[in-house]
Amino acid sequence: MKYVPINIVMWTVIGSFLVSVITAISYAALLFFYSGCYPLVTTPITYPIALAAGVLGLTTWLVLSFSAIPRAVAYLIMLKKKQIEGRVITGVITLCLGFLPVLVLVTSVLADYCWGGGVYYRVWSSTRIISANSNDAATVFYEVNSPSCRSLIARTAGVTALRVRNLRIQFYTNDLTRYTLSRRINDKVANVVSDYISCRAQGHSAAYCHDVLRLLADPSSETNKYLADIRAKEGGIPNKWIRNVAKCKSMDGVNIITFHVIDGEIAWSYEVSYLSDGQLRYCSSERLDPLDFNPTYTNIIIEVKKQVEEKMKEDGSYGKFGSCHHYWELKKQLLKERGIKWMSPSELNPGTCYD
């Protein structure tokens, strides 16, 4: 091993460490900007350059640090044998600098394991069924990063708030179709976050989704059998949001329960069917315009319905296959003439085929 003055070795390691810190901070800052808070710097070239600079700076520091260990040991041995003149403290500092990366790596791994849970999720997919109740990606991003929502996520997942404190979520589009959990977390936390974003993507409000998380945190609080069955099929439904519960029994002994959930701009109509032996037959849901359930508009809706049926009987479309679309179109038009905005089931349930 070629002899290099220990002062040069020490200052080289210190310099590489400072370069590594600067590049790492630059990379972390760009990663923060890239996460969606400040999209101005998310150009295709800046992110790879910052990543390469960070990796290069870290690699340089590691190589120089580990190579300094044998040189520092040799320096201290030569000092002890009085083969050279120098200061012991210089050799000790260089030796400590050489072992510094080991300490950093070990503490990073332990901290990541203790705080994160050790599972890394890259891209998750969700679909924003409909734009409603301010469920754009920017709004949901700030919701899930708020302290109150983080606390609720931790409580629902059954973990400490520390485990989700550093969780970062990055949305790739503005309609919640793709997002990344850019923090090591466990399965429970990931599933809770996924449930919340999926609930918002379906058009529910933040208040409703918060109540869903509270219900999931304490599922034993749900005493209604049909709500428990729906939770197993479609997710939890908070009891306080339910309206217009009706029960009926068909001639073949099938029990049917219907109810509505009014949530801001959208209403949900649920139907649960049980066989005579109490076994679940099916459960279904459909989005509807909340105006249909608003007492203020009841008389207007009834009047418009009569007008629509009269027009359809006149043009011969009443009761024919696929006539529901014509019915909704006429209803929408007549309500618009009265200054009322109304959305049809086909508009609120994209992808659903009506006939």
Tokens 């629902």 belong to 156
pLDDT at 50 over 70: no
Tell me the average pLDDT of the chain.
Answer: 76
What's the pLDDT band for 329 if we cut at 50, 70, 90? very high
Taking residues 138-151, what's their average pLDDT? 84
pLDDT at 195 over 80: yes
Which candidate, 302, 293, 304, places its Cα nearest to that of 270?
Answer: 293
171 contacts 200 by C-beta, under 8 angstroms:
no
70-87 residue pLDDT tens:
878 887 888 777 777 777
pLDDT at 126 over 70: no
Number of residues that this document lists for the chain: 355
What's the pLDDT band for 120 if we cut at 50, 70, 90? very low
Q: What is the DSSP letter of 316?
A: T
**In the 3-class helix/strand/coil scheme, how is 151-210 assigned residue by residue?**
HHHHHHHCCCHHHHHCCCEEECCCCCCEEEECCCECHHHHHHHHHHHHHHHCCCCHHHHH
What does the pLDDT read at residue 304? Answer: 92
What does the pLDDT read at residue 35? Answer: 45
What does the pLDDT read at residue 337? Answer: 92
What does the pLDDT read at residue 32? Answer: 57
**Amino acid occupying residue 105:** L
